[in-house]
Amino acid sequence: MRLLILGILLAAAAFAQPKRPVEELPVRDGTLRLTPIHHASLMMEAGGQVVHVDPWSRGNYDGLPRADVILITDTHGDHLDAAMVEKLKKPKTLVLGPAAVAEKLSGVTIIRNGETKVHGRWSFQAVPMYNLKRGPSEGKLFHDKGRGNGYVITYGGKRIYISGDTEGIPEMRALKDIDVALVCMNLPYTMPPEEAADAVRAFAPKVVYPYHYRNSDLSVFQKALAGTNIDVRIRDWYY
């Protein structure tokens, strides 16, 4: 009877877990698993290590492993959540972020645009993310150049680009050999789907996932990339 009750409880717990849209990406010597969590928050797993990006407490982290590496792109609250970073940290977790993040969060290893850090088999290159024209008022931008980081992550021969909050900047358009891209789109802070698609056309990743897209019409993005041989994968980041 006790075993029966235990089995029922375990089944109920499993049923209660969120159905996360986990993506499996083939890499050299294995698989990289990419898990959308919420908005700009995601997790990657490969080679026995876990990378969390922009962890935010509005996402459901129940049952997810803690981080070997945490990447933070910017200082805004949907990217920098000190409480969630603390929950996901282990004693030797590497937390990477721009200098503006390090001013607000202790224990951050600073990585600036153009710099690369290596952790085990993972390589993290910080790339620019910023607004070209959109801001809260005349003469001001939501994201100034150099304040935040996008990232190009290399693991097992796969190059993964995470845009951070940005418009279709020249540095994005000039990217090369990107296998998987996660590209933001939402107004007023970043860019609309048609501008995002135009930038993606320029650097032509093999696969692109829209993310950070709250209330955006993703069909516009998908239609704009039809016929390009870019695999557009729409997933639910707000489940």
Residue 15 lies in a domain: no
Q: How many domains does the chain contain in total?
A: 1
Query: Which of 52, 16, 13 shows the shortest CA–CA distance to 36?
Result: 52
147 to 73, 101, 175: CA distances (angstroms): 9, 9, 20
Is pTM beyond 0.85 here? yes
Instruction: Write the pLDDT tens digit of every residue in 111-122.
Output: 999 999 999 999
Query: Which of 96, 102, 93, 99 shows the shortest CA–CA distance to 116?
Result: 96
The answer, yes or no, to whether residue 12 has pLDDT greater than 60, is: no
Residue 210 lies in a domain: yes
Mean pLDDT confidence for 164-179: 98
- Residues 86/53, Cβ–Cβ less than 8 Å: no
Q: What is the pLDDT of residue 65?
A: 97
Residue 14 lies in a domain: no
Mean pLDDT confidence for 164-180: 98
First to last CA, the chain: 36
Residue 13 lies in a domain: no
The answer, yes or no, to whether residue 14 has pLDDT greater than 60, is: no
Residue 6 lies in a domain: no
Instruction: Write the pLDDT tens digit of every residue in 66-101.
Output: 999 999 999 999 999 999 999 999 999 999 999 999
Instruction: Write the pLDDT tens digit of every residue in 87-96.
Output: 999 999 999 9
Q: Which residue has the tokens 């390009």?
A: 228
What b-and-e string marks burial along 133-166, b requiring 16 or more CB atoms within 10 Å of the CB? eeeeeeeebbbeeebbbbbbbbbbebbbbbbbbb
* CATH number, residue 45: 3.60.15.10
Instruction: Write the pLDDT tens digit of every residue in 204-219.
Output: 999 999 999 999 999 9
Residue 151 lies in a domain: yes
In terms of residue numbers, what domain contains 214?
A: 21-232
Residue 9 lies in a domain: no
36 to 60, 96, 115, 194: CA distances (angstroms): 10, 19, 26, 22
Residue 1 lies in a domain: no
